[in-house]
A and B are shown apart, each in its own frame.
Chain A
Amino acid sequence: MKYTNTQLSLLIILRVLIGWHFLYEGLAKLTNPNWSSIGYLMDSGGFLKGFFESLASNPQVLEVVDFMNTWGLIAIGLGLVLGLFSRVAVWAGVVLLAMYYLSHPPFVGIKYSMPSEGNYLVVNKILIELSALLVLLVFPTSKRIGIDRLIFRKKEGYHGK
């Protein structure tokens, strides 16, 4: 796919910004000894409410969820910022955001006690970030600017053009 310089730059900025957000969310959880996803999970609503609550009710499962969430966010964040295994990182990000969205869908008639930073109807910031990741999926940049360029260079025959 050919990009103009402006197109490439803006796509990379989008990738890095989302990466920064994921990385910071992950680090903030990692460095807070009191953090657990239990409150968020117990507060879930919508048609998957039961599933998310069941994750929270089992301490062993919860440990795994907390671990996967924290390190998943960090790994995805690094992947996006550095352009490292970007395709996997973007997919993982889409899955994670889909879970967040589905646990707290901003549908009519569902109320949450978790604070939200705005008013939403069906579309919220999670859904927008998710869509932005889907855009990055179809307009990949990490093989132009990113470590993937160094990894996949030979295999796929990029020559810095």
Chain B
Amino acid sequence: MENKYKNSRREVIKGLLTFPVLGGLAYSWFKKKKYEDLMKIAIREEVQLENSNPVLARTVSNEKLIRLGIIGAGGRGRYLLRAAGFLHPETIDSWIEAAANNSSDKRYKDFYDQDDLNIVINGVCDIWDQNAEYAQLTCANINRVGSVGNMAKLPTRYSTYQELLAAPDIDAVIIATPDHWHGTITIAAAKAGKHVYCEKPMTWTVPETFEVVKAVKENNVVFQLGHQNRQNESYFKAKEAYDKGILGKVNLVEVTTNRNSPNGAWVYDIDPTAGPHNIDWKQFIGPAPDHPFSPERFFRWRCWWDYSTGLSGDLFTHEYDAMNQILGLGIPHSAVSSGGIYFYKDGRTVPDVLQQTFEYPHKDLTLMYSASLASNMHRGNRIMGHDAYMEVGGNLQIFADRESTKYKEKIQNHLIDPNIPIYSFTPGMKQVDAITSATEQYFVGRGLLYTYRHGKRVDTTHLHIKDWLDCIRTGDQPECNVDVGFEEAISAHMGTIAYRENRKVYWDEEKQEII
């Protein structure tokens, strides 16, 4: 009897011998959690950001139909039409086919799901027949269908922007012409009482910058400059972090352009069918110096100062506007610039490598821009403060500085690790969290995270156009209004003048002029 009891006790012990291992795991688990929670609390004491997007949060009834015209329907113009909800039926055909062959190709679905903005496009103006006709069919595709579907009536094609602006069935225009036309057409549109969405940069010359502001304000039209970064959630978060002093005193801001492809360097394909017979060359030249017809200049206009604003106007403006959005930079006190045509010796006049330095003594900081069109080495946009630095782009990461005053104690107590972001954010992620797993951190850092699960993906350009249309309906000011556009254009022009005249240029705040 006793033996049997002993035996069964032995049995149970042998059966459950490894059970205490679970206790060990539980103990280690809670110890780890406790440490992480302490770190989280420590970080949250310092970093408290709200999880909201002001633009997505806004609801405006789009009951009122807005009638648009588009001036300039090349590559960017097409993209803007797509973001507004119009895509050429042949593109839809190819996207539907692509999705059928590859279920992870979501281009058509994303486009089809994009909100209807309740707009109609009544006028198209492009000086190249092919672009104009392509845009007409694009704008007629109101049902977002392929070539077998029903199209609406084709919008009117205007051969000059003046005629389009005179049309009574157009309330607002999208301008996506080459740079040398931006200011002139914006001024004319505002004077004709049309609201304007204009691609960046706002202007091609300094004097027209002042005139654009005057025309927009005097005629009370809603103006939106095409910096879609204004809709990027990372930048909202970055601004909030900066405003809350998480970075400490910011003294250096570094922004870059890193490209290394012919397309990235503006060497676009030349259509062999294009020629003076189907391009209105005289109108292309417009305010620019006269030049005989040149397909290179027509298709690759960004490479010549005659039509372009170079790196400063074309690409620096993106980065500048983002930093202006976050830091409220305004116009710099001074600018210096250097660079050259070092790689693309194709007859271009604008540099392909450029460095620009802008001083903001009233803000105690320097903005540095460095660009190469012939190296892809990734350099993020960095905002450097005494207490923390931030890298911002598609994602946002903030790291405490090892020598920070603000976080000194917590770094010493190992509650803040300078190697781990104290804040990281990827748009679309379910939650904002300070401490993430190694894998997540990696994805966040590279912007590789797919976020199909948590909310749908939205195109920032679509939001930017929506912001403009919302403001036309409500009379509010859009995110990238003409005052912000003025700061963008003047800053870019200062960089360009510094480069072209090889001197340091200053902004005279009182006289409102570049000297």
A interface residues, Cβ below 8 angstroms from B: 12, 16, 19-20, 23-24, 27-28, 32-36, 38-40, 42-43, 53-54, 56-59, 62, 78, 81-83, 113-115, 144-150, 153, 159-160
Contact = CB atoms under 8 A, between A and B. Distances in A.
Contacts of A28: 437
B18 A83 contact: yes
B438 A39 contact: no
Contacts of A59: 452-453
B439 A34 contact: no
Given A34-B431, A38-B452, A39-B448, A160 B19 contact: no
Contacts of B103: 54, 57-58
A149 to B, nearest CB: 5
B22 A38 contact: no
B292 interface: no
A38 B453 contact: yes
Interface in B416-470: 429-431, 433, 436-440, 442-443, 446, 448-450, 452-453
A16 B20 CA distance: 11
B21 A150 contact: no
A147 B431 CA distance: 40
B25 A149 contact: no
Interface in B334-360: none
Interface stretch (B4-12, B130-138, B259-267): B4-12
Given A38-B453, A59-B453, A82 B11 contact: no
A145 B450 contact: no
B9 to A, nearest CB: 10
Contacts of B100: none
B11 A150 contact: yes
26 contacts: A16-B21, A27-B29, A28-B437, A32-B437, A33-B431, A34-B440, A36-B453, A38-B450, A43-B448, A56-B104, A56-B450, A57-B103, A57-B104, A82-B18, A82-B22, A115-B438, A144-B14, A145-B14, A145-B17, A145-B18, A147-B16, A149-B11, A149-B14, A150-B15, A160-B7, A160-B14
A81 B29 contact: no
B35 to A, nearest CB: 14
Contacts of B430: 33-34
A32 B439 CA distance: 12
Given A42-B450, A81-B22, A115-B442, 5 more contacts: A115-B438, A144-B14, A150-B15, A160-B10, A160-B11
A123 B431 CA distance: 36
A23 B439 contact: no
A115 B448 CA distance: 13
Given A114-B439, A147-B16, A153-B11, A23 B25 contact: yes
A149 B18 contact: no
A71 B433 CA distance: 24
B14 A16 contact: no
